[in-house]
Amino acid sequence: MRSRLLLALLVLLALLGGIAAAYILARGPEHHARSVRAAPAPVRKHPQPRVIRVRGPHNRPVPILMYHVLGIPRTNAPYPELFVKPADLGGQMRWLSAHGYHAVTLGQVFRYWRDGVALPKRPVVVSFDDGYLSDYAVALPALRRFGWAGVLNLVVANVVPGDITAWQVRQLIKAGWEIDAHTISHVDLTGLDATRLQHEVAGSRVQLRHMFGQPVDFFCYPAGRYDAQVVAAVRAAGYVGATTVNPGLGRPSQPYTLDRIRIDYSDGVSGFAAKMLRFDH
């Protein structure tokens, strides 16, 4: 009798064990799936683009174009030659592309001059002075068509609705544009005392860096006006280079007085081409 009870007990335990095992197996895949889903995804490290350096000299000059307002000047507008028709800008960018040019920033140019980091075969800097709505509305799409970025020499006081807003400047930055300083109020720097000069030169860099989180490593002299005291203030403010309105190509031998090629309203595409062939041959 005792042996029969023991046998029945063993059978019952075996049955209960099988039920428990079946339950665990039934839940197992679901539990495992939840565990996999909860695990953090592995972080993929994207390889950095390989830096190509120039073997030998890396001091060739680079054309730096100078634009202002993109539009048609109204009657009696001051400095009408500083305007460029939007259609002309588009045609000029197409001419550059067709002739093998590729737009770069001043930062890229200086990395080439200083460190030998390679540039495209025919580099050109496309810079826009002051800060106008047309930089966002006209220049941005015109350059983006070719995958290019421009350089905005920005007057701090021009970051207002009607000229160019901070949001619009950030859209330029997102597109790869370089933001450089053009003073706070676009004043003639050669007539300022030391305190005001520092405010306009160093202060504009501080404010733009705070507003946009950009390096702001380059300076543009308002109306091209500078002297030894102004250049010294630009150096002291930490800029690594500065642009003028002097005609010519930018050269590494004159980092704080870089020449540029001014594009005028009367140039159109043919006049633009003539200037490029004259300076960059």
Confidence of residue 55 (pLDDT cuts 50, 70, 90): confident
- Token pair in block for residue 16: 């209960």
Domains in the chain with CATH codes: 64-279 (3.20.20.370)
Average pLDDT taken over every residue of the chain: 88
The 3-class SS string of the chain reads: CHHHHHHHHHHHHHHHHHHHHHHHHHHHHHHHHHHHHHCCCCCCCCCCCCCCECCCCCCCCECEEEECEECCCCCCCCCHHHEECHHHHHHHHHHHHHCCEEEECHHHHHHHHHHCECCCCEEEEEEEEECCHHHHHHHHHHHHCCCCCCEEEECHHHEECCCECHHHHHHHHHCCCEEEECCCCCCCHHHCCHHHHHHHHHHHHHHHHHHHCCCCCEEECHHHCCCHHHHHHHHHCCCCEEEEEEECCECCCCCCCEEEEECCCCCHHHHHHHHHHHHCC
Which tens digit of pLDDT belongs to each residue from 94-108?
A: 999 999 999 999 999
Which tens digit of pLDDT belongs to each residue from 186-241?
A: 999 999 999 999 999 999 999 999 999 999 999 999 999 999 999 999 999 999 99
How far apart, in whole angstroms, are the C-alpha atoms of residue 242 and residue 201? Answer: 11
pLDDT for residue 22 = 42
% of the chain surpassing 90 pLDDT? 79
Dihedral, 164, 169, 170, 174 alpha carbons, nearest 10: 130
Please check the confidence at residue 39 and state whether its pLDDT lies above 50. no
pLDDT for residue 48 = 55
